[in-house]
């Protein structure tokens, strides 16, 4: 922790070695660059979504009269309007809203765990890591429900969606749904695994003996990135 | 290991102002999300362009809060900040190129 301010001998550049010119450890720096490359991957997926969407027909009628058709791209809020336990009750985007809320809250608990780690407060790190894991698992559960709902559809013959057939519109729409939310969901899943690892190491006192909780910070960066990606998926897949 | 690890560790007491700031950031993110919902339901679909621009602006604001406050990038050294932000121009370039391609596809059809 104390090595973050680059102390260099006079006449030498901070880049001549022996110091951290960016004020961050190697591991933290590499996490940042990994996240940058991951940002490229997600941008590629979302931008391609935009391109393919613009290459499909546009629905021109009123929103109330909207029906699903492979001829044009669906209005997302007409696809995602179910919430658990209230079947047939239209609640457009409410469930995605709940998922967004869960992910933002788990981001706060993560940043509180990082803050507690800076203070060497082991009990607080344990508490906030546990809440973060709970949030991550709640999000994954929501996503499992949403995928099931999307795949099964209305239960009628020809209903639901898979990679080649789609009740809600062109098959490309379902393909992008599976790839973008699936890729993001996989990030959440691996994030929960990392969070659990951090929690385990905190409980067993690994970081206490090491003398710093920087691993919490590195995994925290990853977890916030997952939240960041969801902000973009939420806008470009569900709202626009 | 139960007996070996009881080394003296100084737990620094929590900084209330710092923690309050983190919760404020979360509150801002939630308010922006609620605002997006309000726009999604209250602004009719006929104003497509206005809706899209509001959504994109709000998304960038949210992203700035997450990266700046939660990921702490605002407070890192300037070299680190810029070496993360400058490569984003590649994403902007890809967006530009694909919008251009998309317009070309529309013309061909």
pLDDT confidence tier of residue A222, bands split at 50, 70 and 90 = very high
CATH for the stretch A22-239: 1.20.120.80
pLDDT at res. A6? 47
Q: Inter-chain contact B79–A120, Cβ cutoff 8 Å?
A: no
pLDDT at res. B23? 94
Three-state secondary structure call for residue A228: helix
Q: Which of A6, A38, A104 to mutate to probe the B interface, most B CBs <10 Å?
A: A104
Q: What is the DSSP letter of A62?
A: -
> How large a percentage of chain A has pLDDT more than 90?
63
B88 closest CA partner among B64, B65, B71, B104: B64
pLDDT at A3 over 60: no
pLDDT at A1 over 80: no
ipTM comes to 0.88
A52 closest CA partner among A180, A168, A170, A164: A170
pLDDT confidence tier of residue B3, bands split at 50, 70 and 90 = low
Q: Inter-chain contact B36–A235, Cβ cutoff 8 Å?
A: yes
pLDDT at res. A7? 52
Question: What digits encode the pLDDT tens for the residues A4-16?
Answer: 444 555 667 888 8
Q: Inter-chain contact A51–B10, Cβ cutoff 8 Å?
A: no
In chain B, whose CA is at the least distance from the CA of A26?
B80
Q: What b/e string do you get for A197-214 counting C-beta neighbours within 10 Å, with b at 16 or more?
A: ebbebbeebebbeeeebb
User: Which of left, alpha, beta for A93 (phi over 0: left; psi -120 to 50: alpha)?
Assistant: left
A110 closest CA partner among A91, A94, A93, A130: A130
Residue pair A209/B5 in contact (Cβ under 8 Å)? The answer is yes
């Amino acid at each position: 922790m104390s090595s973050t301010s680059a102390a260099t001998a006079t006449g030498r550049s901070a880049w001549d070695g022996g110091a951290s010119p960016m004020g961050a450890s190697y591991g933290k720096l590499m996490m940042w660059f990994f996240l940058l490359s991951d940002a490229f991957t997600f941008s590629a997926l979302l931008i391609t979504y935009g391109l393919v969407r613009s290459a499909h027909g546009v629905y021109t009628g009123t929103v109330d009269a909207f029906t699903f058709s492979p001829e044009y791209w669906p209005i997302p809020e007409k696809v995602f309007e179910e919430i658990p336990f209230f079947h047939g009750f239209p609640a457009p985007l409410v469930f995605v809203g709940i998922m967004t809320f869960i992910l933002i809250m788990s981001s706060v608990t993560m940043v509180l765990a990082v803050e507690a780690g800076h203070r060497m407060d082991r009990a607080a790190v344990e508490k906030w890591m546990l809440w973060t894991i709970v949030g991550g698992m709640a999000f994954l559960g929501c996503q499992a429900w949403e995928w099931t709902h999307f795949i099964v559809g209305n239960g009628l013959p020809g209903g639901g969606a898979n990679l080649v057939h789609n009740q809600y519109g062109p098959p490309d729409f379902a393909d992008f749904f599976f790839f973008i939310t699936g890729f993001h969901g996989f990030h959440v899943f691996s994030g929960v695994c990392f969070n659990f690892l951090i929690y385990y190491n905190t409980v067993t006192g690994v970081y206490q003996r090491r003398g710093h909780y920087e691993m919490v910070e590195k995994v925290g960066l990853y977890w916030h990135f997952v939240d960041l990606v969801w902000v973009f998926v939420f806008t470009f897949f569900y709202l626009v | 290991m139960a007996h070996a690890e009881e080394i003296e560790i100084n737990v620094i007491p929590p900084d209330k102002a710092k923690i309050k700031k983190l919760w404020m950031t979360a509150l801002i993110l939630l308010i922006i999300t609620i605002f997006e919902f309000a726009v999604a339901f209250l602004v009719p679909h006929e104003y497509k362009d206005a809706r899209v621009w509001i959504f994109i602006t709000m998304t960038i604001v949210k992203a700035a809060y997450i990266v700046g406050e939660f990921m702490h990038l605002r407070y890192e050294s300037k070299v680190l900040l810029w070496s993360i932000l400058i490569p984003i121009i590649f994403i902007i370039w890809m967006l530009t190129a694909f919008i251009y391609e998309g317009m070309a596809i529309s013309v061909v059809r």
